[in-house]
Structure 1
Amino acid sequence: MQRRLVLLLALGAATPARGEGEAWFESPPVLPAVVASSDHLPQGLCRNHSREFLRQLRNYTLWAVQMFDASTKVPEGVVAGATYQMGHFDECVRASWGEVRGQYCLLELSYRPLRPHGGQAADPYLKDLPPQLHVWEKLKRTRDYTKVARDELHWALCLPASCAAEDIQAALDRELQVAGERLGLQLSARVSPRLCSVAGRDPPYSPGEITFVCVIGTLLLLLVSSTWYDLKNYPADGSKDSLDIGAGEGSLLKNALLSFSARRSLKSVLNTRVSHPATDASNGPRFLFMVLIIFGHRMTMFVGHPLDDAYILDRIFLTVSNGFILNGTLLVDSYLVISGLLLSYHLLIELDGHKGTNLALALLIRYVRLTPVYMLIVFFHATVFHRMGSGPFWEEVVGTDRDRCRENWWTNLLHVNNYVHTEGMCMFQSWYLSCDFQLCAVALVLVYSLWRWPWLGYSALALLCAASAVVPFLAVLLTRADPFLVPIAQHVRDPVDSWYFRNIYIKTHNRAAPYFIGVIVGLIMFKMRSSKFKLGKVTSHALFALLVWTLGTATMLAAFVFFDPARPYSAVEAALYASLHRVGFGAAIASYFLLIAFGQCGVYQRVFSWKPFTVLSRLTYGAYLVHTLAQLYDHGSLRAPRPTAFFSVAWMTMSDCTFAFVTAFFLLILVEAPFRAMEKVVFGRK
């Protein structure tokens, strides 16, 4: 008996010729029965269980009907862009009887007509097609990369767990060929083992997972015992330094133990003492930009992932103001400017006060401050995170991340993962940490040269600034790449799989310009630290509006010219923007700090130096490390397509931020602050 496959409206892309029998929408068979009854299933348990499933289905047996009910039979909304037909995951994996257990697989089915439909062709860049056109004009993939593809469906299928992915693939290959010939379509399917799930197949706990639990237990034990010892022996006496490590005499072991005191860590977190008007005014932007980065990463969960309607995404590139979202990766550059500024300014202060410093020790101290909490999160990704949920995409999303972290954790440890094994990067956002650390190593030598040998330092600074603009220009020009990471499905569904992300976006030599701009700002602030120079109030606010708001906004929105897929590509134009847009945005951030330091922008200084911002800014590092955990968990456990609405994104961003900053607070108390205090104990720093 010839098997047929239901593809509903998608299969209507090619209308059967007159005389070929019933129309494509009449009495269609369903996919679970097509595969279960296929003669191309291998002999053995898979075929036997599939036949038993069909027999019990005819008898209305509960477990068989549950498996059938959990599969997609008739898809909905394909033309609207609802290409994920996800069935019912939990009903499938809970269904069982004897040796037969339900297995949920999310197939990837591609289709296209075998013959042209003969109707009028549509403009490939037109979003709203005339209703009289053939449906294939809406469904087909075109040169418009901003359009959500509708020629590939993801289809839920519930079959016996004894059928391996390759068994299902073998049956589908033949059955789709038969169905395609009848319907005038070329049909193909891919069955990925990572998109097939069976309940109760978790392996026993690994040594790595046990070790992670022991590490957390040890840290908690240190936290409790240190806090108890601190409270018992060092009651607060009101002195501002009474809780500082090293404030009094004590053994190395005792001070090391006290480093883990929650009371002392909390004191360091809540400290809001004033340092410098400009550096204090970095606290507000650090917090607000982190919220926007979390929002941007949440937005990527809506691009290339299950949606119930693609109408908004199809048109998001048409509005200029959306450039704030679509070119939002520029926000990361603000942290590079701040990092370069703080390193330059504070290192020059130290060099001037102590007439020298140990650069290797300075780099080691930065490594010790940043790495412990970072590697704890990497350890979590590689071990127990995978055991915390399930879902149609769990193995593909969380399982893939687990495997990458298990294989390449050492590249994170050495801060080289933006150059080494980038195709298996653990924690896609961790590229920034490597980039920042590498630039810190360069900047330490550069700033020392500026202090010790000014002529050499200024020459090196000029050369590095020029190179940081020329190198991304050449990278884009020679590869004919996009000028920035365009947030389309192939770039953001899994950033690590994106060629642009791996080869251009995360490379330090393409991201260096904002950092060196920050170094220049720190140098200017150091040179003028004793100066009484102040711009007038009107001039200050006029320059703030021009250099901060206007330049920053123009730099982000200028990307709009590249959002038009019908516009001819110019490699020179793309290379120029790739070279200059980070310089422009970095200059806008630099102008903010210079105007705070040497202008009369008191309102901005007061707002962004607000004491709650000071506290929250200390949590941004931890929030950056952990916020993707909530997003990966959410995507991996997703059971149904999402509604596409800005309010939905905003609501989920608020939950992401709450999770990220609350978790960051506990990590700061448990790991980050103790290891910073330990660093002071070990290296004898106050």
Structure 2
Amino acid sequence: MSCALVIFFFGFLTAVYPYENASVQKNGVLDTGNMVSQNSDNSTLDRNNNTNHDLVYPREWLADLFYQSLVTFSVKDVGSSACKVQTQMYLNHLKNNSRWAVKMSDSWVKYPNGLLIGLTHHIGVYDECINVHQPVQGKYCMSNIQLHPVTTGTKKFSQKPGNNDPAWEEILGFNDVGDQVRRNHVNIGICIPEACTFEDLEFALQRRLDSIFLAQNVNATVKVEPSLCSTNKDVHPFGMGYHLTRMILVLLFLTCCLSTIVHLIILKKIKDNEETSKFVTYIKWFSIIQNMSDLLKYEKKNPLDVFYGVKLLNMAIVLCTHKYLYIVWGPLQYPPQVEEALMNKRPSLFDNVFQNVMYTSSNGVDPFFFFSAYLTYFSLKSHYNKRKSGWSEVPRNILYKYLRMVPAYGAVILATIYIIPHMRNGPFWSYKIQPEIDRCKHYGWTNLLFINNFIGYDKQCLLHSWYISCLLQFHVIGASVLYVYYKSKRRGLMLMWSILIISLTTPFVLTFYNRSIGFVKLNYSNLENVFNDSQEFKDLYRPFYTRMTPYVGGLLAGVLVDNLKERKIQFSMTTTYVGSFITLIVVYFIQAYAVFFYDSTRPYNAIEHALYATLSHCTFTILFGVVTVFHSSWGYGYLENVFNNRITVFFGKMLYSVYLVNIVVIMSMDYSRRFAVYLGEEQLFKEFTYNACACYFVAFVLYLSVEAPFANITKKIFYG
């Protein structure tokens, strides 16, 4: 009877409040799927015969038109006299098959392929072009060509052409709804003489394409960015900033080396029972031996060390996610691998668990916020108990945290501005890295003040640095709240619960009021330019007040664990494993629910998205809240040995440095690519593994030379 009432109730709601008719219009594009099925013969005849004022498609395929335009193309009769002379020299030698001229011609594509599946970047062989030096220096330029019909008449395009539709409809009728690579944008690398400018290429190529494409009712608009033209010469200036940064980094390296040598001498004297002066002990701050000893230090009975392993696992997921995104931002050999996930019309929570988590992981750093609060609770507990000073202890602790974070942070920013640009090159290198340099030059000071998550997202130095600002902002809240709690537990708990309620309400209100999506949805409009007009990235992703839930949850978890220990409450092994497993399943369903939002036919519901914006920040909070409670009781037995051992503790202590350098390392590798990437499982495994190794190697150097030494100095200054 109850089932019948439920079915009747939902049937009544469906009848009274029907969904919007998605078949009439999808994302502003008329769907003629039903019309085609009813009049398939006539519709096909109209397309082929171009009747009914439909678009007149070219008789030849796009690649053939490009071949006709490019096979004999050169930047002749344009630009300066030097450009004309070098171009004529190139053409004369090309007729004679001179090796240098043929290398220039051979280095770029004349007949592009893969146009239908979205292979939009036809790079050619970059190094073959720029390594031509005599008698003409080769210059490589990447041109962007946008294709549109000259006139469409009354033609209406479907969102996805059928197999029997003209292939041209995939190009000229492309509907940019954000889940596909733009088929009507073609990027072709071209090798020209160095004396010719990007403007010369743009003018000459536009003139040549017009002569071929306009006759076929196609408008091909050429755009060449100056930063997409390069030779083998370093175009980035070696100014005062470069020399000062290099001097600072070299000085730090030499200091570490000399300190290590002195430390070895000290150890020898101690072994020989010789006295050493007290001042030489300060040398140990920069000693690699001392800092490595601290890094390798392992206390088996420390119950908090297990969280190094948990954070290490989460960092691996973050590294893979960042790497995956940067690969997708670049040229792909087979884009449908990504498009099939973004265009999933019937998403499922069970088909691909990893993919579901990947595409809904805009809350991926929430575990770090949770554990930061949880560990802060116990560290400040002992700290406040030892020091009986008043409110002055709060700003003292905040300043200590700030000075611990700044040196390594500043080193990464300086290296990004002045060192990294000189380390690589490639067809996209200057175009991609220069905006990052400019943002860090002009707005890097906001990073060092930890307020960059409040400035325009198009001005943010280092894409991932908003997290570091949130981390310090949360520490300001945590240090203040915990001081209140240790002075008065009742007031402290009231304050924590008040902040938790605010943290749950804020994303709901912002999402509902702005009618935005409840998470940062990954689509090609975001992937092509992450600093675009994304309301979710601006209002929901970066501000600390929309992400406070896991941090406050970590503080409350610390309070709960403390109370359980005081009352000596224990949980059985069965309760621990069963409870954790059930929590994991529930959390996954909440987390992966966002895959349904990738269905473009799903009507927008503001309340649904607002609820998800709130609940998504509860997933990891609930999961790790349960884990910390069970861990403080019986624990997880032998499973804890996986997360708590010398290896996990060693790598876990470097997580701050790893997070700092990971985007810089990824940029240096992916921005210098010479080829389109195929996202096969084997290739992804290689990319992820190499990226993780490179990140940890650079982080290891940063930790030993900057983070650990300055942490030793800061600790000595503040706490003796």
What is the TM-score when the length of structure 2 is the normalising length?
0.85
Correspondence for 1:187 among 220, 243, 252: 220
Which residue of the partner structure matches residue 104 of structure 1? Answer: 140
1:67 is paired with a residue whose SS is helix
Which residue of the partner structure matches residue 4 of structure 1? Answer: none
Cα RMSD for the two superposed structures: 2.9
Deviations 1:320-369 (A, max 9, x none): 52112212333211101001111122212322343446111111111122
Which letter does structure 1 place at the counterpart of 2:541? Y
Correspondence for 1:563 among 589, 598, 614: 598
**In 2, are the aligned partners of 1:70 and 1:88 still within 8 Å (CA)?**
yes
Which letter does structure 2 place at the counterpart of 1:230? H
Correspondence for 1:158 among 180, 188, 191: 191
Which residue of the partner structure matches residue 304 of structure 1? Answer: 329
Q: In terms of mean alpha carbon deviation, does 45-54 or 652-661 score higher?
A: 45-54
Which letter does structure 1 place at the counterpart of 2:116? V
Matches for 1:274-423 after TM superposition, within 5 Å? 274=300, 276-277=302-303, 279-317=304-342, 318=344, 319-321=351-353, 322-356=355-389, 358-423=393-458
Distance in 2, matches of 1:659 and 1:159, equals: 35
**In 2, are the aligned partners of 1:103 and 1:158 still within 8 Å (CA)?**
yes
In structure 1, runs of 5+ residues without a counterpart are: 1-13, 243-247
1:29 aligns with 2:68: yes
Distance in 1, matches of 2:598 and 2:444, equals: 36
Q: CA offset at residue 75 of structure 1?
A: 0.1
Which residue of the partner structure matches residue 501 of structure 1? Answer: 537
Change (3 A) 1:355 1:527: farther
**In 2, are the aligned partners of 1:408 and 1:425 still within 8 Å (CA)?**
yes
Q: CA offset at residue 274 of structure 1?
A: 4.3
Q: CA offset at residue 535 of structure 1?
A: 1.3
**In 2, are the aligned partners of 1:551 and 1:585 still within 8 Å (CA)?**
no
**In 2, are the aligned partners of 1:534 and 1:600 still within 8 Å (CA)?**
no
Correspondence for 1:230 among 263, 282, 289: 263
Q: In terms of mean alpha carbon deviation, does 394-403 or 43-52 score higher?
A: 43-52
Which residue of the partner structure matches residue 619 of structure 2? Answer: 584
Which residue of the partner structure matches residue 138 of structure 1? Answer: 170
Which letter does structure 1 place at the counterpart of 2:680? A
Q: CA offset at residue 501 of structure 1?
A: 2.7
Q: CA offset at residue 662 of structure 1?
A: 2.2
1:150 is paired with a residue whose SS is coil
Q: CA offset at residue 202 of structure 1?
A: 3.3
Which residue of the partner structure matches residue 492 of structure 1? Answer: 527
Distance in 1, matches of 2:238 and 2:124, equals: 31
Q: CA offset at residue 394 of structure 1?
A: 0.6
Distance in 1, matches of 2:284 and 2:83, equals: 61
**How many residues are treated as equivalent by the alignment?**
654
Which letter does structure 1 place at the counterpart of 2:313? L
**In 2, are the aligned partners of 1:255 and 1:681 still within 8 Å (CA)?**
no
**In 2, are the aligned partners of 1:345 and 1:526 still within 8 Å (CA)?**
no
Distance in 1, matches of 2:419 and 2:66, equals: 47
**In 1, are the aligned partners of 2:65 and 2:212 still within 8 Å (CA)?**
no
Deviations 1:22-68 (A, max 9, x none): 8453894233744524x6x3454334433443343334333332222
1:565 is paired with a residue whose SS is coil
Which letter does structure 2 place at the counterpart of 1:642? V
Which residue of the partner structure matches residue 7 of structure 2? Answer: none
Q: CA offset at residue 236 of structure 1?
A: 9.5
Which residue of the partner structure matches residue 535 of structure 1? Answer: 571
**In 2, are the aligned partners of 1:417 and 1:431 still within 8 Å (CA)?**
yes
Which residue of the partner structure matches residue 244 of structure 2? Answer: 211
**In 1, are the aligned partners of 2:57 and 2:217 still within 8 Å (CA)?**
no
Distance in 2, matches of 1:263 and 1:519, equals: 36
Q: CA offset at residue 388 of structure 1?
A: 0.8
2:137 is paired with a residue whose SS is strand
Change (3 A) 1:250 1:573: farther
**In 2, are the aligned partners of 1:148 and 1:313 still within 8 Å (CA)?**
no
Which letter does structure 2 place at the counterpart of 1:474? V
Correspondence for 2:97 among 57, 60, 65: 60
Change (3 A) 1:654 1:505: same
**In 1, are the aligned partners of 2:69 and 2:209 still within 8 Å (CA)?**
no
Which letter does structure 2 place at the counterpart of 1:541? Y
Which residue of the partner structure matches residue 285 of structure 2? Answer: 259
Correspondence for 2:681 among 630, 646, 650: 646
Correspondence for 1:93 among 118, 125, 130: 130
1:409 is paired with a residue whose SS is helix
Which letter does structure 1 place at the counterpart of 2:130? V
Q: CA offset at residue 441 of structure 1?
A: 0.8
**In 2, are the aligned partners of 1:15 and 1:183 still within 8 Å (CA)?**
no
Distance in 1, matches of 2:712 and 2:565, equals: 29
2:261 is paired with a residue whose SS is helix
Change (3 A) 1:503 1:191: farther
Change (3 A) 1:176 1:575: farther
Distance in 2, matches of 1:304 and 1:168, equals: 26
**In 2, are the aligned partners of 1:50 and 1:160 still within 8 Å (CA)?**
yes
Distance in 1, matches of 2:369 and 2:236, equals: 42
Change (3 A) 1:634 1:59: same
Deviations 1:447-499 (A, max 9, x none): 11122234433332222111212221222223322221222233234433453
**In 2, are the aligned partners of 1:195 and 1:393 still within 8 Å (CA)?**
yes
Distance in 1, matches of 2:105 and 2:402, equals: 55
Which letter does structure 2 place at the counterpart of 1:335? F
Change (3 A) 1:680 1:109: same
Distance in 2, matches of 1:145 and 1:599, equals: 49
Identity of aligned residues (%): 22
Q: CA offset at residue 143 of structure 1?
A: 5.8
Matches for 1:520-669 after TM superposition, within 5 Å? 520-547=556-583, 549-669=584-704
Which letter does structure 2 place at the counterpart of 1:156? G
2:146 is paired with a residue whose SS is strand
**In 2, are the aligned partners of 1:107 and 1:154 still within 8 Å (CA)?**
yes
Q: In terms of mean alpha carbon deviation, does 667-676 or 167-176 score higher?
A: 167-176
**In 2, are the aligned partners of 1:32 and 1:157 still within 8 Å (CA)?**
no
Deviations 1:422-454 (A, max 9, x none): 322222111111111111111111111122234
Which letter does structure 2 place at the counterpart of 1:62? R
In structure 2, runs of 5+ residues without a counterpart are: 1-46, 345-350
Distance in 1, matches of 2:88 and 2:515, equals: 54
Which residue of the partner structure matches residue 21 of structure 2? Answer: none
Q: CA offset at residue 550 of structure 1?
A: 1.4
Change (3 A) 1:195 1:609: same
Distance in 1, matches of 2:641 and 2:316, equals: 20
Distance in 2, matches of 1:97 and 1:476, equals: 60
Correspondence for 2:120 among 83, 86, 94: 83
Which residue of the partner structure matches residue 424 of structure 1? Answer: 459
1:109 is paired with a residue whose SS is strand
Q: CA offset at residue 628 of structure 1?
A: 2.3
Change (3 A) 1:27 1:520: closer
1:50 aligns with 2:75: no
Q: CA offset at residue 678 of structure 1?
A: 1.1
Change (3 A) 1:234 1:201: closer
Distance in 1, matches of 2:689 and 2:628, equals: 28
Change (3 A) 1:599 1:201: closer
Deviations 1:611-647 (A, max 9, x none): 3111111122111122223321222221111112122
**In 1, are the aligned partners of 2:436 and 2:462 still within 8 Å (CA)?**
yes
